[in-house]
Amino acid sequence: MDNLQQYSHNEVSSLSQIELESRALIRTASALNIIKENWDSKKNELDAALEKNRKLWTIIVSAMQEQNCPQPQEVRANIINLGIFIFKRTVSIMIDPKPESLGVLIDINMNIAKGLNAHEAPEENPQS
């Protein structure tokens, strides 16, 4: 393993699960956004980017279905429903690819990542 790979491995292994999930969502949203903004030169990368996003959401939905999932049932149901929407939207985009169709997937990933980051951020102690 070269120095760059070792650094990347050490960086990733030091992240919390929430940080890893947030980064994965941001990474897939960014890939989709690059394709959206550079449609003519990048549309050939669409299927691979959609597949990565689908795999990520498959992992997320599967985690919500686990018996030992710590999330409240309502949150779990909402995330599962969101995942189902993403799966349907992905198929729709694959059938009729258009750059403007990617916006909703990008927005969902970024908003979920933002929520995860807010959850992970340490709370400030109020001054008395």
How many C-beta neighbours within 10 Å does residue 28 have? 24
Q: Which residue has the higher pLDDT, 91 or 4?
A: 91
Q: For the domain that residue 96 is a member of, what is the CATH number? A: 1.20.120.340
- Determine the structural domain holding residue 57 and report its residue range: 18-120
Residue 35 domain flag: yes
How many C-beta neighbours within 10 Å does residue 46 have? 20
Helix (H) or strand (E) holding 24: helix 17-37
pLDDT band for position 61 (50/70/90)? Answer: very high
Q: List pLDDT tens digits, range 19-37.
A: 898 999 999 999 999 999 9
Residue 27 domain flag: yes
The answer to whether 18 touches 119, Cβ cutoff 8 Å, is yes
- The pTM for the full model equals 0.80
Q: Which residue has the higher pLDDT, 57 or 69?
A: 57
Q: Tokens for 51, please give them.
A: 């597949």
Total domains present in the chain? 1
Residue 6 domain flag: no
Residue 115 domain flag: yes
Nearest to 36 by CA among 94, 93, 102: 102
pLDDT band for position 128 (50/70/90)? Answer: very low
What pLDDT does 11 receive? 46
Residue 97 domain flag: yes
Q: List pLDDT tens digits, range 65-123.
A: 999 988 899 999 999 999 999 999 999 999 999 999 999 999 999 999 999 888 655 54
Residue 2 has pLDDT above 70, yes or no: no
Residue 9 domain flag: no
